Amino acid sequence: MVIVNEREKVFHLYNERISYLFYVMESGQLGHLYFGKALNPKGSYLHMVEKAHRPMSTYINEGDLYTSYEHLRQEYPCYGTSDYRYPALEVQGGDGSRLCKLEYQEYEITKGKKPIPGLPAVYVEDDREASTLEILMRDTWRNLDVIFSYTIFKEIDAIARSVRFVNCGQEVLMINRAMSMSVDMPDADYESIQLSGSWSRERHVKVRSLEPGITAVSSLRGNSSHQHNPFLALKRKDTTECSGDAYGFSLVYSGNFLAQAEVDNYNVLRVMLGINPFGFQWKLGPGEEFATPEAVMVYSKDGLNGMSLQFHRLYRSRLARGYWRDRERPVLINNWEATQFNYVEADLLRFAGKAKECGIELVVLDDGWFGARNNDKSGLGDWKANREKLPDGIEGLSEKIEALGMKFGLWFEPEMVNKDSDFFRNHPDYMIQTPGRSASHGRNQFVLDFSRKEVVDAVYEQMYDLLSNAKISYIKWDMNRSVSECYSSAYPADRQGEIFHRYILGVYDLHERLLQAFPRLLIESCASGGGRFDAGMLYYAPQGWVSDDSDAIERLKIQYGTSFVYPLSCMGAHVSACPNEQVGRNTPIETRGNVALTGAFGYELDLNQLNCKEIEIVKRQVEFYKSHRNMIAFGDFYRLQSPFEGNFAAWEIVRPDADMAIVTVTRVLSEINGPYRRLPLCGLSKSRKYHVKSKYLSYDAYGDELMQYGMMLEDRSSGQAMDDSGCCQDFLSVLYEVTAIE
């Protein structure tokens, strides 16, 4: 998977579908050659270097009017010489100079992949799955070693990159900017896709044409954020969901990030991804090391669905890990929207009893169970049961739930504290704040300084105590505000630029310690819904609460956007009550079910409030999920129709053996006597015959027909379904089962 042309010093990472090429320039820096569809691995590629005499440039060698970094496509550009685009690296020495020059030293190819200590990263289970190329670069003037790591997978069309820095000298160095990856693409005729939004409106798909200058998304909030996801895709203008070039760049990180595409004056495109350099500075003392988070680059010739399939395969099988990775997830019910903070144990047992009757497997107790937590002004930090609400504590409640034949899950917000809590009264210095300045709150709460081990230890002890004494199978790990006034009293002035990153390392450390102690614990990540829904969290929490917006129609866009990178196995999706808590909308319970069924399925309402007909539907939904959850979580997912482009949203899940597909088609507003509609499917076997079944349709067709001509859609507004006449047909969702019969 890695070929080195020793004479030309060209490195070629490839599998049967993708190639990635770079070379060592005369100056010793690395130049980028190619990333895309697989190229013949035997060739010579140096003719790809484009170089011309460009007037009014700055050139690195005296007497030579050609060689300027401004005009060379680079692999990891450093600040300070003749390249005026944004660099991947900026290092400052004791002399104040910020110039850095990396020269190639040697390479090493190993089978498999090494972990990155303290950071989430994709991995292999067998060394034959991937090969890793490490390139040692050195700035001899600064005594700085820089190791670029590239891992290419055999069966997945992804390359994982990260960079490690080792200060081999005596001088203290300051890393001001260290991106995880950078790539200079030969042209910029792409559209960029970002997943952006806000609280309850996360990861909407935004497409922009690239223009000269910068297109970027980022976070400075300490969490990856509701606003932008650490991800950027590139597509040609004619790329569709199913065909054409598509590139995806995803950062395996949960803190401040920058994803940037820069188009220069020669239409060269520089894409980079990494920790946001703004506010970041890492002091690298003699002998010290620093590792960047990992970036994953995917290429597909099969359009955006092709790109997403690669991310899904990699992230659900070689980023998510542990006991729950390949296991079917329990159908859960969460009490938050049903009760908020107002409940006592008897309410919860009634709530759980009805859930059991419907076949639900896991009861999750959300916020409000601990300390003096009767509203959001107090209690965070005191992870002990509120005995007025729960007389037998979490131990007693969890036993009673288990006695009903269900598992029990519990909400925590480990990184936060209310000033009105014993934890804060005992440790007022444990929160993040800048001395002498006022501290901003979010939802009346403050952020604990997770850059300090003793703070993480204090939270760990409380959680460990509870998890070892009560029967807790699952935790929902919430995080309801971003970091502000970032400063840690435990670190000196010249290390304050490290705090945001150290905070996230502390968050990862607490996850890791809990998983080491309780390997069968299922963690669902959450940050006011999807405020930290990123690949970093997926390493610890194989599922995450996609959004606080549980309205099925809003969820169409949110889940559609989320699917660009993240697999269905990790998308927490629940049926909630109507009118919906966030938008006040009434939608049919079938629609709410259909949208939530294509995720890590659950309920977010009090089933005791539903009528008999609705309870029967709930039972059927639970049964359907149980019998199809394996293919839903681990099958191939295809977006078929975008809710951003019209009145319909449609997606499909296909079993890897193409034996069966589930297709969900949701129409937002009703239409009358509309056109005949067909939906071309994906991923079926062309020559096999399938049976298509929905509420009103039942017919047989071959795979090639269903993929070319399309699957015919039922349309109740055309008069097909007289039994539903009179009902509101807005927000109608139909689930089609497509089953191979030959």
Question: Which residues contribute to the site for ligand DGJ (CB under 6 A)?
Answer: 336, 366-367, 411, 478, 480, 526, 528-529, 545, 548
Tell whether the torsion through CA atoms of 422, 423, 426 and 432 is positive or negative: negative
Count the Cβ atoms, other than its own, within 10 Å of residue 49.
13
H or E element, residue 337: helix 336-339
Q: 738 and 661 in contact (C-beta within 8 Å)?
A: yes
Q: Which residues pair with 21 in a beta bridge?
A: 12, 34
Q: 602 and 573 in contact (C-beta within 8 Å)?
A: yes
Cβ 681 to ligand DGJ, closest distance in Å? 34
* Closer residue to ligand DGJ (CB): 82 or 340: 340
DSSP 431: B
C-alpha closest to that of 197 among 225, 216, 222: 225
* Closer residue to ligand DGJ (CB): 123 or 336: 336
Residues 490, 50: Cα–Cα separation, whole Å:
50
What would the two tokens of residue 618 be? 């709930």
Cβ 480 to ligand DGJ, closest distance in Å? 5
Who contacts 225 (Cβ-Cβ below 8 Å, separation ≥6)? 219, 482, 531, 532
* Closer residue to ligand DGJ (CB): 277 or 529: 529
Sheet containing strand 698-702, edge to edge, reads 636-641, 648-654, 660-667, 732-740, 689-693, 698-702
* Closer residue to ligand DGJ (CB): 177 or 226: 226
Cβ 530 to ligand DGJ, closest distance in Å? 8
* Closer residue to ligand DGJ (CB): 375 or 670: 375
101-112 as b/e, with b when 16 or more CB fall inside 10 Å? bbbbeebeeeee
Cβ 460 to ligand DGJ, closest distance in Å? 21
* Closer residue to ligand DGJ (CB): 543 or 641: 543
Catalytic-role residue among 139, 548, 549, 636: 548
Residue 95: active-site member:
no
Residue 494: active-site member:
no
* CA-only gyration radius of the chain, Å: 27
Residues 590, 596: Cα–Cα separation, whole Å:
10
Q: Which long-range contacts (CB under 8 A, 24 or more apart) does 4-13 make?
A: 4/107, 4/109, 5/44, 5/45, 8/44, 8/45, 8/46, 9/104, 10/44, 10/45, 10/46, 11/107, 11/133, 11/135, 12/39, 12/41, 12/45, 13/131, 13/133, 13/150, 13/152, 13/159
C-alpha closest to that of 428 among 400, 458, 406, 398: 458
Q: 628 and 331 in contact (C-beta within 8 Å)?
A: no
Who contacts 372 (Cβ-Cβ below 8 Å, separation ≥6)? 378, 379, 382, 386, 420, 421
User: Cα 214 from chain centroid?
Assistant: 23
Cβ 367 to ligand DGJ, closest distance in Å? 4
Please state the φ and ψ torsions of residue 230, each to the nearest 5 degrees.
-70, 70
Show the 3-state SS of 119-161.
CCCCCCCCHHHEEEEEEEEEECCCCEEEEEEEEEECCCCEEEE
Residues 166, 50: Cα–Cα separation, whole Å:
32
Residues 117, 115: Cα–Cα separation, whole Å:
6
Cβ 336 to ligand DGJ, closest distance in Å? 4
C-alpha closest to that of 3 among 46, 53, 44: 44
Q: Which residues pair with 416 in a beta bridge?
A: 447
* Closer residue to ligand DGJ (CB): 76 or 545: 545
Cβ 520 to ligand DGJ, closest distance in Å? 22
* Closer residue to ligand DGJ (CB): 327 or 377: 377
C-alpha closest to that of 183 among 4, 8, 13, 9: 13
* Closer residue to ligand DGJ (CB): 159 or 526: 526
Catalytic-role residue among 478, 549, 606, 715: 478
Cβ 368 to ligand DGJ, closest distance in Å? 8
* Closer residue to ligand DGJ (CB): 412 or 423: 412
Nearest residue by C-beta to ligand DGJ?
Answer: 367
Where are the extended beta strands (E) located within 321-360? 332-334
Cβ 574 to ligand DGJ, closest distance in Å? 9
Cβ 583 to ligand DGJ, closest distance in Å? 16
Residues known to be catalytic: 478, 548
